[in-house]
């Protein structure tokens, strides 16, 4: 029976990291923050109670020293930091870390190898492949990947999830708008990570998936309309056109293609990428689903629309 008490978090200062740090602390883990040496990041810092180590991510020795006496490493590094995780994995193995959670936290990258969106996610896919290899070589070293779907509250606040435009009272839906997709609030993801580390045996060497809920664009539009008492002008875009636009961007080396591919991956009619009951790790992680209506209501309040 493995027990995890000490956790080093890499990149806990960005969009998702603070929610993970918060929930790990709330669950009673002893957290150490790891930040890049010389980082001038002005995004949220680690809480005062969390010791922070500034490390050169290119240095195996520096990372190994930072991971000494840590039971787990949780990586929440942003996209540009994904390849650097390889050295962090090597350092974690050498330091005797028992569990490594890589920076996944989106679509299930185990399922998209070789697809259009998978081409953009090769870095993440390679890190999970590497973790599998290292866990095969070292019985004491384990990993867990976590797919969360879209960051629901964060995405709504930033872009209306690409669906809702409150200011202009407009909405954009892909295909029929009926396809359900997977989404998680940042705090749900934080609790899921804490849940993985609280259930180390059940979650060892597995790629898990969680969600606050599945929802469709039409459900979101209907809820916004009902709660605000105001209709949105809905326009439609064909998933096939998004994929075509994405392929053109990718051919020109423009990685904003990801947004086009993601829209089609989530919301094309028949995409089938909502989180199924069989795939959901919410049970293993001791996590309830959340209330979509309440989350939309709180988004509308944050935006001053209620
Ligand atoms: N599902 C979704 O809707 C969704 C949305 C956004 C992101 N994501 C995924 O969630 C994960 C975290 O994303 P995020 O948006 O929270 O990340 P972020 O805010 O862009 O970055 C998180 C932290 O990573 C560190 N970092 C930045 N650049 C780095 C580099 N080149 N090398 C190493 N570390 C670097 C920084 O910490 P320090 O300055 O302290 O080192 C930064 O605060 C990623 O895997 C991302 O793909 C998913």
Q: Are 79 and 23 in contact (CB under 8 A)?
A: no
Q: Which of 55, 77, 79 to mutate to test the pocket of ligand 1 (most atoms within 8 A of CB)?
A: 77
Q: Inform me whether the pLDDT recorded for 228 exceeds 90.
A: yes
Considering the domain architecture, whether residues 133 and 229 belong to the same structural domain is answered as no
- Domain that residue 103 falls in: 6-149+184-209
Considering the domain architecture, whether residues 163 and 265 belong to the same structural domain is answered as yes
Report if residue 224 sits inside a domain: yes
Q: Which of 8, 16, 20 to mutate to test the pocket of ligand 1 (most atoms within 8 A of CB)?
A: 16
Q: How far apart are CA 284 and CA 303, in angstroms?
A: 34
Q: Are 245 and 237 in contact (CB under 8 A)?
A: no
Q: How far apart are CA 246 and CA 251, in angstroms?
A: 9
Considering the domain architecture, whether residues 69 and 160 belong to the same structural domain is answered as no
Considering the domain architecture, whether residues 67 and 203 belong to the same structural domain is answered as yes
* pLDDT, tens only, 79-119: 999 999 999 999 999 999 999 999 999 999 999 999 999 99
Considering the domain architecture, whether residues 251 and 194 belong to the same structural domain is answered as no
Q: Name the β-bridge partners of 32.
A: 8
* pLDDT, tens only, 231-244: 999 999 999 999 99
Q: How far apart are CA 101 and CA 208, in angstroms?
A: 11
Q: Are 218 and 154 in contact (CB under 8 A)?
A: no
Considering the domain architecture, whether residues 217 and 116 belong to the same structural domain is answered as no
Considering the domain architecture, whether residues 145 and 175 belong to the same structural domain is answered as no
Domain count, the chain: 2
Considering the domain architecture, whether residues 103 and 201 belong to the same structural domain is answered as yes
* pLDDT, tens only, 128-162: 999 999 999 999 999 999 999 999 999 999 999 99
Q: Inform me whether the pLDDT recorded for 45 exceeds 90.
A: no
Report if residue 282 sits inside a domain: no
């Amino acid at each position: 029976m493995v027990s995890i008490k000490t956790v080093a978090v890499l990149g806990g200062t960005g969009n998702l990291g603070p929610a993970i740090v918060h929930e790990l602390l709330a669950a009673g883990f002893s957290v150490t923050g790891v930040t890049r040496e010389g980082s001038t990041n002005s995004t949220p810092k680690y809480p005062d109670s969390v010791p922070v180590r500034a490390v050169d991510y290119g240095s195996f020795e520096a990372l190994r020293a930072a991971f000494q006496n840590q039971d787990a490493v949780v990586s929440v590094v942003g996209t540009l930091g994904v390849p650097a995780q390889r050295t962090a994995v090597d350092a974690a193995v050498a330091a005797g870390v028992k569990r490594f959670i890589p920076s996944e936290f989106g679509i299930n990258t185990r399922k998209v190898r070789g697809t259009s969106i998978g081409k953009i996610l090769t870095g993440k896919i390679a890190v999970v492949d590497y973790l599998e290899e290292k866990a095969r070589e070292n019985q004491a070293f384990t990993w867990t990947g976590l797919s969360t779907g879209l960051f629901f509250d964060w995405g709504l606040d930033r872009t209306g999830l690409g669906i809702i435009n409150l200011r202009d009272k407009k909405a954009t839906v892909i295909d029929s708008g009926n396809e359900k997709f997977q989404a998680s609030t940042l705090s749900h993801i934080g609790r899921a990570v804490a849940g993985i580390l609280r259930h180390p045996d059940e979650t060892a060497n597995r790629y898990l998936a969680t969600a606050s809920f599945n929802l469709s664009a039409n459900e979101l539009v209907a809820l916004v309309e009902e709660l605000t008492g105001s209709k949105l002008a809905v326009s439609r875009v064909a998933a096939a056109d998004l994929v075509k636009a994405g392929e053109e961007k990718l051919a020109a080396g423009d990685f904003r293609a990801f947004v086009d591919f993601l829209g089609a991956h989530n919301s094309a009619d028949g995409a089938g990428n909502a989180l199924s009951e069989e795939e959901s790790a919410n049970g293993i992680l001791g996590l309830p689903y959340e209330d979509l209506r309440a989350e939309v209501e709180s988004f509308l309040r944050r935006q001053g629309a209620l």
